[in-house]
Amino acid sequence: MAEQLIPLPRIAAFENLGLGLFVHWGLYSQFGVGEWTQKIHKRPVAEYEKIAATFTAADFDAEDLARTAKNAGMNYIVLTTRHHEGFSLYDCCGLNDFDAVHSPAKRDLVAEFVAGCRKYGIRPFFYHTMIDWHWEGQETVNLSEKDFGRYLDYLCASVEILCKNYGEIGGFWFDGTWSRPKSDWQLGRLYGLIRKYQPETIIVNNTGLEHLGEYGHPEVDSVTFENNSAKPMNRTGCTKYIAAEVCKTMNYHWGRSENDFAFLSPRDVIEKAAHSRGCGANFLLNIGPEAQGRIPDYERSVLAILGKWVALYREAIYEPRPVTGVKCPGRDFILQAGKTYYYFAFDLDRQGDSNVMQSAHASALRGVCNFFTGKVKSACWLDDQSAVEIVQNPDAGVLSFYTPGFTYGSNTVVRVLKIETK
Ligand code: GLC
């Protein structure tokens, strides 16, 4: 039975990481019009690659990045070590010169990234493109099968460098097999190489916008819900327990886009992070650093607010897991860790005075989860420890409680009720 699949230790540990930071940074960041600019704005390779000459990475501070993620409650960072443009933030060790050490930056930025992560107890993950718009001056999508085979040799050699030169890596995050769905990407060879050097690393392969949550090669450890919302996982028929991850842009581009103002609000981010955890998925929130690596002010502020939310509800966010069968109203859900349950309440009303805030209501019925069979001992809001009276109908397995919602003085968007059972 699918529910009885036990996650491998590395996959359980990945789920416990809970929240991660996605970082899209490369030469494209200098144009400031998104990471697909080479392709979408039809920039010829010979023109495009000239932008490497102004890549100084002067504002890239890996320790600051890791600290910012840590303070946001994140436990891993996925950095674009090479994106579709083909430029590597790592030292390609002679495979080609299209890398950070041969640019004015003259630094191995992946080495700095890994060191920064280690300092703050963050697991470093490597995003690596599968497709390439630069290799031998062509796009991999147009290569003959024979040339594509040679490209795969190059790809494997690149990944081998990442496996060998940076110590223990939290995971590899691949992207782009969707570009040649009929080709043999020799994934067994690529993943075998990784397992040889990094047996406990997590392998993710982004299945793309049209194949959310789909399973792929058996070596893959997590499905992806690219730029979307998680769905509860159905592991029926799976040969191993596989994790899930939602990756989300803060606006409509992954890489820096100067004129994209359509940002998520902190409220959106908190709701999406919570919803992901409700489905048992990790939440990987993206930022697009500026040209030379600076974290943009708005993204930094949102991360700080997310961190304040996490600090209030920390014990509910990482280890607790979804409970099968319990149904809650609206967007609410329950997570479980042993005998303790965490009720995540969305869209709560606000208590106060109608002269100062709209919709200031008295206590409203809340909860009403069906099939909740745990016998409640105590319940309180995690943020201020205030007690909440629970009403249980043992025969129907129904749990409910009254709440005025947020009291005047705070509104944490998604509020978490801790319920201890006997
Ligand atoms: C897509 C895009 C890419 C981005 C990725 C993140 O596959 O091609 O630009 O890196 O999604 O999920």
Reading the block at residue 346, the tokens are 């969305």
Ligand 1 contacts CB of residue 245 (under 6 A): no
H/E run at residue 160: helix 145-165
What residue type is assigned to position 337 of the chain? A
For 380-422, what is each residue's pLDDT tens digit?
A: 999 999 999 999 887 788 999 988 888 889 999 999 999 999 9
| CA of 215 relative to ligand 1 center, distance in Å | 18
Tokens 């789909």 belong to 214
Cα–Cα dist 23/285, whole Å: 8
In terms of Cα–Cα distance, which of 346, 233, 321, 286 is closest to 2?
Answer: 233
Ligand 1 contacts CB of residue 206 (under 6 A): yes
Q: What percent of the chain has pLDDT over 90?
A: 82
Cα–Cα dist 187/177, whole Å: 10
In this structure, are residues 223 and 207 in contact, taking their beta carbons and an 8 Å threshold?
yes
Of the pLDDT bands very low, low, confident and very high (cuts 50, 70, 90), residue 209 is: confident
> Collapsing DSSP states into helix, strand and coil, what is residue 60?
coil
| CA of 175 relative to ligand 1 center, distance in Å | 7
User: DSSP per residue over 311-351, as a string?
Assistant: HHHHHHHSS-EE-TT-B-STT-EEEEETTEEEEEE-S--B-
Of the pLDDT bands very low, low, confident and very high (cuts 50, 70, 90), residue 373 is: confident
pTM, entire model: 0.96
Ligand 1 contacts CB of residue 85 (under 6 A): no
Q: Whose CA is nearest to atom 10 of ligand 1?
A: 254
Ligand 1 contacts CB of residue 175 (under 6 A): yes
Tokens 């010829």 belong to 44
| CA of 287 relative to ligand 1 center, distance in Å | 13
| Bridge partner residues of 203 (DSSP) | 172
For 90-121, what is each residue's pLDDT tens digit?
A: 999 999 999 999 999 999 999 999 999 999 99
Write the burial class of residue 95 (CB in 10 Å: 0-12 exposed, 13-18 middle, 19+ buried). Answer: middle
**Residue 213 confidence (pLDDT):** 86
Using most ligand atoms within 8 A of CB, pick from 22, 174, 254, 287 the residue to mutate for ligand 1. Answer: 254
For 226-284, what is each residue's pLDDT tens digit?
A: 888 888 888 888 889 999 999 999 999 999 999 999 999 999 999 999 999 999 999 99
Cα–Cα dist 2/5, whole Å: 6
